């Protein structure tokens, strides 16, 4: 079978290796599709090295079917269509014990510390099988759509902490795939006014088709003026920052109303610092929150949202590449024009 391997950043090998056989507790999955994520791109470029085991086989947003089942595994059979919640949590740390498994002290992530899915077959380690991270999925959807449960789960985790409800005014800063998934959930929650700030014209157009009431080109338009016009000068109830530019945070806080909330959803580039208006937060009594990962419950809910049709992700895969063109797929993901790039294994 073919397996992609990154010996180090910006170097890619396609290796012919034997099809794996599962050890006790493991599952072997024939990978059908892997969607690429901003963090895959950061590993490829060498910007993300923490938590990555080199040489690396990346890929954590996957769907496929089980081909063989290790001794002792119950509840799964060859032929099951599955996707994977890629967060391997320990189950015994303070956070796991209180249900905040996304904050697990000992987390390892499939596709980073654990060899990932960009191969024809992949092994799901026993811990993930035992945790219930392998989720059976419908075969009514294309596998590259099922793979999107992973980013949707992370977005749902952030959304559920952002106080968005019927009639809310919401600002989404950054209309890439993550910002657009936040848009879908805000629409589903009945938000009254949703503003998306995004420099790419094609992504702004996508956002309008998917329910954004106002889109802003932050390069050529004033975000503050657009928010003031859309909210009668009040500012938005909730702002979600979906692009990791620290310089955008101060303005996002300024356009959020008194008592409002700002979610730093994105991870931030550079040295990860920025300047924020402390007295705006203080006098406006705002909540500025962070966000990281998702729980298994979030993942299962994301699968449910996709399979029930309550969220339609059929337009999200803008590009498809075969496994032997992973470098082209990564470059396409870097381009900033695609929504989601899928590798069809
Ligand atoms: Zn991802
Ligand atoms: Zn833990």
Same domain, 139 and 183: no
Q: Which ligand is nearest to the CA of 109?
A: 1
Same domain, 312 and 325: yes
Cα(116) to centroid of ligand 2, in Å?
21
Contacts 24+ apart (CB under 8 A), 87-94: 87/133, 87/293, 87/294, 87/295, 87/296, 88/114, 88/125, 88/127, 88/128, 88/131, 88/133, 89/131, 89/296, 91/131
Cα(223) to centroid of ligand 1, in Å?
28
Nearest-5° angle of CA 207, CA 211, CA 217?
A: 35
Q: Which ligand is nearest to the CA of 104?
A: 2
Q: Which ligand is nearest to the CA of 147?
A: 1
pTM here is 0.97
Cβ-Cβ contacts under 8 Å for 299 (sequence gap 6 or more)? 85, 133, 135, 149, 150, 153
The tens digit of pLDDT for each residue in 28-56 reads 999 999 999 988 999 999 888 888 999 99
**Residue 136: left (phi > 0), alpha (psi -120 to 50), or beta?**
beta
Which of 272, 290, 308 terminates a domain? The answer is 290
The tens digit of pLDDT for each residue in 203-249 reads 999 999 999 999 999 999 999 999 999 999 999 999 999 999 999 99
Cα(36) to centroid of ligand 1, in Å?
7
**Domain count for the chain:** 2
Same domain, 230 and 142: no
- State the average pLDDT over residues 309-317: 96
The tens digit of pLDDT for each residue in 261-292 reads 999 999 888 888 889 999 999 999 999 999 99
Same domain, 14 and 149: yes
Q: Which ligand is nearest to the CA of 154?
A: 1
The fraction of the chain above a pLDDT of 70, given in percent, is: 100
Q: Which ligand is nearest to the CA of 90?
A: 2
Q: Which ligand is nearest to the CA of 101?
A: 2
Cα(178) to centroid of ligand 1, in Å?
9
- State the average pLDDT over residues 136-152: 97
Cα(79) to centroid of ligand 2, in Å?
31
Q: Which ligand is nearest to the CA of 97?
A: 2
CATH code at position 170: 3.40.50.720
Range of the domain at 300: 2-153+294-344
Is the pLDDT confidence value at 179 over 90? Answer: yes
Q: Which helix (H) or strand (E) holds 298?
A: helix 296-307
Cα(106) to centroid of ligand 2, in Å?
5
């Amino acid at each position: 079978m073919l397996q992609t391997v990154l010996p180090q950043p910006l170097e890619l090998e396609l290796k012919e290796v034997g099809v794996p056989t599962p050890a006790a507790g493991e599952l072997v999955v024939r990978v059908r599709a892997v969607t690429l994520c901003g963090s895959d791109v950061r590993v490829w470029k060498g910007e993300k090295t923490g938590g990555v085991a080199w040489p690396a086989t990346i890929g954590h947003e996957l769907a496929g079917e089980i081909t063989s089942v290790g001794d002792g595994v119950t509840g799964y059979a060859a032929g099951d269509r599955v996707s994977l919640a890629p967060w391997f949590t320990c189950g015994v740390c303070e956070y796991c014990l209180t249900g905040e498994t996304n904050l697990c002290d000992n987390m390892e992530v499939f596709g980073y510390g654990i060899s990932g899915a960009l191969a024809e077959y992949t092994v799901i380690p026993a811990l993930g099988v035992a945790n219930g991270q392998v989720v059976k999925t419908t075969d009514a959807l294309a596998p590259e759509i099922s793979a999107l449960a992973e980013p949707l789960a992370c977005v749902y985790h952030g959304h559920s902490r952002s106080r968005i409800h019927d009639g809310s005014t919401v600002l989404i800063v950054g209309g890439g795939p993550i910002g657009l998934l936040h848009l879908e959930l805000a629409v589903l929650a009945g938000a009254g006014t949703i503003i998306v700030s995004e420099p790419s014209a094609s992504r702004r157009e996508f956002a309008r088709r998917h329910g954004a009431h106002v889109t802003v080109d932050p390069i050529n338009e004033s975000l503050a003026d657009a928010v003031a016009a859309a909210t009668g000068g009040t500012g938005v109830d909730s702002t979600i920052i979906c692009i990791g530019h620290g310089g955008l945070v101060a303005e996002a806080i300024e356009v959020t109303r008194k008592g409002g909330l700002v979610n730093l959803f994105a991870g931030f580039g550079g040295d990860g610092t920025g300047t924020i208006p402390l007295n705006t937060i203080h006098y406006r009594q705002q909540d500025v929150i962070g966000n990281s990962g998702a729980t298994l419950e979030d993942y299962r809910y994301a699968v449910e949202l996709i399979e029930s049709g309550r969220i339609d992700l059929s337009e999200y895969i803008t590009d498809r590449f075969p496994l032997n063109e992973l470098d082209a797929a990564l470059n396409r993901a870097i381009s900033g024009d695609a929504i989601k790039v899928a590798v069809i294994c």
